[in-house]
């Protein structure tokens, strides 16, 4: 009878969720909400970028710098959060990061100059970078190895949920308010994560066995340790992989709304409609990518979606004027591929590092990739002055090529138990 019960629990379509247990399910909800609202607070900038550019009278390069500084500082936030996760625990770190990105997103709405906005956006990056490191590890440590890829991928899918929510709010806000005020209101809605903190504080806790392992280790939360022995190679190539994937993604996330408005001639509502196709594809991609990474393996999944994403960027940005219907429908596969590639990150990075260095390793590599990959949006912004936004966005395809090369230096970890 005991065997039958275990089998029924461990098998089936939603076994990945059932096998988390009561505390694991609570951790999943907390991490899902944290990452979804992290996405929301990030996306309000690209959506309001045209209005912000006009309000402060800045160039496309300066506009791109707003995203770049967010991502560069997020590398610091992610690395620090990784150390905190190994020292004070995953849940406490998760709460600190959510509060940080919420507070500074709201303050962005009060900016009186471009320079002030740049500073607030940079500080928002501290929490933005740290949240994923804490939340993904928290859930990965509750998962069974056979379901880890798809479970953490569902956490990643919350990025699309937060993105969709931001587009809905953006559409409503920019219809109700003048653009000079609307971008501020959009930032003020970034206070939403405050509600999530109450839930996390009351119900979510670290995996007990992981807490015991961390407590008994002398090297927890050490940057030096992830650059020693065999971990040196792992850290270098994992950082390069994260750089390529995120360089391609943030090129699209930053400049696609502007591209649709300025080069495809779409209205606010029209842009929202086109982004709906992209975001729908992104959600399906996040979820599907998790199953693919558990079936095909971590490395093959990264390689597959890197190649597809690079090809779709080239195709999407070179569609002739007047063929907006093609742009509309191509948004779905583009969103699918550029998001499916992220599905394996949480499980892959968690499996590459031991428990006492998991937060540090995952926090550093993923967010180092954000920082260096962040150079791509600024590069595109400056090159758009002469090439146009669509022409410059093709450099996002180069980033995916870097990701494929990085895989040559990393092991396959499918099915690996967390040490």
Token representation of residue 83: 């150390």
- The reported pLDDT for the residue numbered 60 is 80
Count structural domains, the chain.
1
HEC string of 289-327?
HHHHHHHHCHHHHHHHHHHHHHHHHHHHHCCCCCCHHHH
Assess if residue 166 is contained within a domain: yes
In this structure, of 34-38, 282-286, 288-292, 329-333, the range with the lowest mean pLDDT score is 329-333
In this structure, of 3-12, 112-121, 155-164, the range with the lowest mean pLDDT score is 3-12
pLDDT class of 219 with cuts at 50, 70, 90: low
Find how far residue 1's CA is from the centre of its chain: 43
**How far from 184 is each of 61, 101, 188, 190, CA to CA, in Å?**
21, 16, 6, 10
pLDDT of residue 1 exceeding 60, the answer is no
Assess if residue 396 is contained within a domain: yes
In this structure, of 21-30, 130-139, 325-334, the range with the lowest mean pLDDT score is 325-334
- The reported pLDDT for the residue numbered 4 is 34
- Mean pLDDT over 340-352 rounds to 91
Token representation of residue 235: 């850290």
pLDDT of residue 389 exceeding 80, the answer is no
Mean of the per-residue pLDDT values of the chain:
86
Token representation of residue 24: 């694991």
Assess if residue 419 is contained within a domain: no
- The reported pLDDT for the residue numbered 419 is 63
Over pLDDT 70: what percentage of the chain? 91
How many separate helices (H) and strands (E) can be counted in the chain?
A: 19, 0
Spatial distance between the Cα atoms of 215 and 237, rounded to a whole number of angstroms: 29
Among 277, 255, 382, 398, which residue's Cα sits nearest to residue 335? 277
What is the rounded radius of gyration, in angstroms, for the C-alpha atoms of the chain? 20
- The reported pLDDT for the residue numbered 177 is 95
Assess if residue 248 is contained within a domain: yes
Give the model confidence (pLDDT) of 60-75 as tens digits.
888 888 988 887 888 8
Assess if residue 383 is contained within a domain: yes
- Mean pLDDT over 367-376 rounds to 83
Over pLDDT 90: what percentage of the chain? 41
pLDDT of residue 7 exceeding 50, the answer is no
Assess if residue 9 is contained within a domain: no
- The reported pLDDT for the residue numbered 220 is 65
- The reported pLDDT for the residue numbered 201 is 87
The CATH code of the domain that includes 167 is 1.20.1250.20
- The reported pLDDT for the residue numbered 245 is 94
- The reported pLDDT for the residue numbered 5 is 35
Structural domain boundaries enclosing 60? 21-199+226-409
Global pTM exceeds 0.95: no
pLDDT of residue 399 exceeding 60, the answer is yes
Contact 79, 371 (CB under 8 A): no
- Mean pLDDT over 307-332 rounds to 80
Assess if residue 290 is contained within a domain: yes
Measured in degrees and rounded to the nearest 5, phi and psi for residue 222 equal -125, 115
- Greater confidence, 412 or 278? 412
Give the model confidence (pLDDT) of 130-156 as tens digits.
888 888 889 989 988 888 988 988 898
pLDDT of residue 308 exceeding 90, the answer is yes
- The reported pLDDT for the residue numbered 208 is 84
Q: Helix 60-87 vs helix 358-373: angle between axes, to the nearest 10 degrees? A: 180
- The reported pLDDT for the residue numbered 238 is 97
Spatial distance between the Cα atoms of 65 and 237, rounded to a whole number of angstroms: 26
- The reported pLDDT for the residue numbered 380 is 81
pLDDT class of 217 with cuts at 50, 70, 90: low
Contact 28, 151 (CB under 8 A): yes
Assess if residue 220 is contained within a domain: no
pLDDT class of 404 with cuts at 50, 70, 90: very high
């Amino acid at each position: 009878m005991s065997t039958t019960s275990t089998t029924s629990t461990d098998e089936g379509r939603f076994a990945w969720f059932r096998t988390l247990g009561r505390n694991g399910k609570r951790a999943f909800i907390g991490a899902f909400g944290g990452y979804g609202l992290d996405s929301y607070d990030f996306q309000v900038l690209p959506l309001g970028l045209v209005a912000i550019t006009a309000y402060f009278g800045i160039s496309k390069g300066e506009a791109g710098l707003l995203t770049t500084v967010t991502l560069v500082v997020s590398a610091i936030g992610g690395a620090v959060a990784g150390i905190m996760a190994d020292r004070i625990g995953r849940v406490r770190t998760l709460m600190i990061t959510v509060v940080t990105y919420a507070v500074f997103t709201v303050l962005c709405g009060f900016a009186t100059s471009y320079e002030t906005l740049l500073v607030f956006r940079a500080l928002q990056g501290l929490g933005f970078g740290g949240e994923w490191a804490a939340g993904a590890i928290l859930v990965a440590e509750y998962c069974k190895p056979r379901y880890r890829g798809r479970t953490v991928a569902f956490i990643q899918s919350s990025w699309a949920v937060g993105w969709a929510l931001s587009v809905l709010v953006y559409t409503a806000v920019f219809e109700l308010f003048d653009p000079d005020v609307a971008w501020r209101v959009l930032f003020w809605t970034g206070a939403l994560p405050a509600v999530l903190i109450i839930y996390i504080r009351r119900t979510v806790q670290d995996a007990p066995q992981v807490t015991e392992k961390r407590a008994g280790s002398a090297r927890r939360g050490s940057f030096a340790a992830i650059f020693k022995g065999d971990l040196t190679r792992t850290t270098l190539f994992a950082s390069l992989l994260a750089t390529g994937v995120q360089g391609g993604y943030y090129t699209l996330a930053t400049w696609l709304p502007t591209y649709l408005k300025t080069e495809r001639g779409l209205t606010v509502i029209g842009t929202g409609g086109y982004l709906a196709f992209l975001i729908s594809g992104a959600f399906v991609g996040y979820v599907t990518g998790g199953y693919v990474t558990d079936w095909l393996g971590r490395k093959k999944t990264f390689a597959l979606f890197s190649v597809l994403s690079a090809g779709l960027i080239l195709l999407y940005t070179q569609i002739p004027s007047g063929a907006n219907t093609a742009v509309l429908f191509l948004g779905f596969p583009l969103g699918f591929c550029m998001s499916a590639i992220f599905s394996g990150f949480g499980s892959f990075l968690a499996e590459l590092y031991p428990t006492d260095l998991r937060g540090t390793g995952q926090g550093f590599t993923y967010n180092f990739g954000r920082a260096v990959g962040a150079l791509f949006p600024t590069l595109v912004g400056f090159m758009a002055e002469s090439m146009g936004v669509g022409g410059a966005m093709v450099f996002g395809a180069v980033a995916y090529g870097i990701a494929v090369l990085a895989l040559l230096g990393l092991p396959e970890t499918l099915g690996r138990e967390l040490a």
